[in-house]
Amino acid sequence: MEISARPLPAAWRCRKAFTLVELLVAAALFSLILAILLGVVSQASTLTRHAGDRISSFQSARAAFDQITAKLSQATLNTYWDYDNPARPTRYLRMSELHFLIGKAGTNGLPGSAGTGQCVFFQVPLGISALPEGGDLRELLNAGGFFVQYGPVDVLPSPPFPSQPAKYRYQLKQALQVSEDLSVYADREGTHWVGDLAQQAVAVSENVVHLSLWPRLPEGEDAAGSTLTDDFTYDSREGAGLTNQPRTAHQMPPVVQVTMVALDEKSAARVCVGATPPEAIQAAFDGLFALSEQEQYERDLGVLETRLAAAGLHVRIFSARVAVRESKML
């Protein structure tokens, strides 16, 4: 049987490779797909980097917030009862050589920058001593405090490069005084000891722009939060010498609600450009947090978030109610 080979159709015999048009189309499609992939990867990388920068920016703020809440919870006054006048006693009064103070930062001689909320000063048994042999005495009292300050930040030059321009930031500062230097005992009626303590303050976190400290009763007893104060301030020595002492005299509040507002570094670098506190931050807080009442406080928080978002500022708000364990207030 003879098999004859049939010739291929002319169109098939001519199709030995891709045409130039096909190659150009394929190259164009490949370039388009590659561009899309690169765009997606770049966007994902940018988002990841920004998220990492924000997390890093807020890590020190979180650590500082934890320090505030931990130390406030341990504050003490060592309150006791004694005669009002040892020479001619008429009644017992609460007494204490120690002092618990929450005031408006940057006003009435208190440290901090005005408009940054409250500052707080107290005594706490941390056992920090200047003497080596005092290190094991855990019940030794120390004075402590926190406040927010706007100003220059030390930037160390990196030789052989020239010194860098001044950097300005909001800083949360912590003050600690060793047991041997406690000056609160020598200042039983005033606040001079606060000034001595503030001189030893060091920055524990940058870009904290506001610290709110709200002394209050437990929520079940005072849902509005306005029984102990109507403007967030508190002074355990106020009215302590009166025959009819106020409820707060030589007493600590049972609860302190701590709220802290922190900027991310990118936002801070954009607005903190000079020795004067930035207008964008001051405008965001203008008229807010003047009245310590729960409904008003929640409204103020909402307004603050709206204003900061409108200004393109990225913030994180930390908040917690801290139970002061040594409080004896009934």
The per-residue pLDDT for range 122-133, each reduced to its tens digit, is 999 998 888 766
For residue 156, the model assigns a pLDDT of 57
Residue 25 lies in a domain: no
pLDDT band at 45 (very low <50, low <70, confident <90, very high): low
Residue 284 vs residue 34, higher pLDDT: 284
pLDDT at 67 over 70: yes
For residue 2, the model assigns a pLDDT of 54
Q: Are 170 and 204 in contact (CB under 8 A)?
A: no
For residue 54, the model assigns a pLDDT of 57
pLDDT at 261 over 70: yes
Residue 31 lies in a domain: no
Q: In angstroms, rounded to a whole number, what is the distance separating the alpha carbons of residues 243 and 86?
A: 14
pLDDT band at 25 (very low <50, low <70, confident <90, very high): confident
pLDDT at 55 over 60: no
User: Which own/partner contact pairs does 309-314 have at CB distance under 8 Å and 24+ positions apart?
Assistant: 311/280, 311/283, 311/284, 312/267, 312/270, 313/263, 313/267, 313/271, 313/280, 313/281, 313/284, 314/54, 314/263, 314/264, 314/266, 314/267
Q: Which domain holds residue 308?
A: 44-323
Q: What is the pTM of this model?
A: 0.81
Listed in order, strand segments (DSSP E) in the chain are 80-83, 92-95, 101-104, 118-125, 141-153, 167-177, 202-206, 208-216, 234-235, 255-263, 315-323
Residue 225 lies in a domain: yes
pLDDT band at 44 (very low <50, low <70, confident <90, very high): low
Residue 15 lies in a domain: no
CA 58: distance to chain centroid? 9
In tens, the pLDDT along 88-105 reads 888 889 999 999 999 999
pLDDT at 46 over 80: no
Residue environment code for 160-171, b if the CB has 16+ CB neighbours within 10 A, otherwise e: eeeeeeeebbbb
Q: In angstroms, rounded to a whole number, what is the distance separating the alpha carbons of residues 199 and 181?
A: 13
In tens, the pLDDT along 281-319 reads 999 999 999 999 999 999 999 999 999 999 999 999 999
Half-sphere exposure of 10 (CA within 13 A, CB side): 0
Residue 56 lies in a domain: yes
In tens, the pLDDT along 192-245 reads 999 999 999 999 999 999 999 999 999 889 999 999 999 999 999 999 989 899
Residue 127 vs residue 57, higher pLDDT: 127
pLDDT > 70 in the chain, percent = 85
Least confident of 10-19, 20-29, 104-113, 190-199: 10-19
For residue 296, the model assigns a pLDDT of 96
Q: In angstroms, rounded to a whole number, what is the distance separating the alpha carbons of residues 31 and 189?
A: 78
Most confident of 31-40, 98-107, 160-169: 98-107
Contacts of 200 (CB under 8 A, 6+ apart): 175, 176, 177
Residue 302 lies in a domain: yes
Residue 22 lies in a domain: no
Structural domain total, the chain: 1
pLDDT mean across residues, the chain: 87
For residue 246, the model assigns a pLDDT of 94
For residue 320, the model assigns a pLDDT of 96
Residue 119 lies in a domain: yes
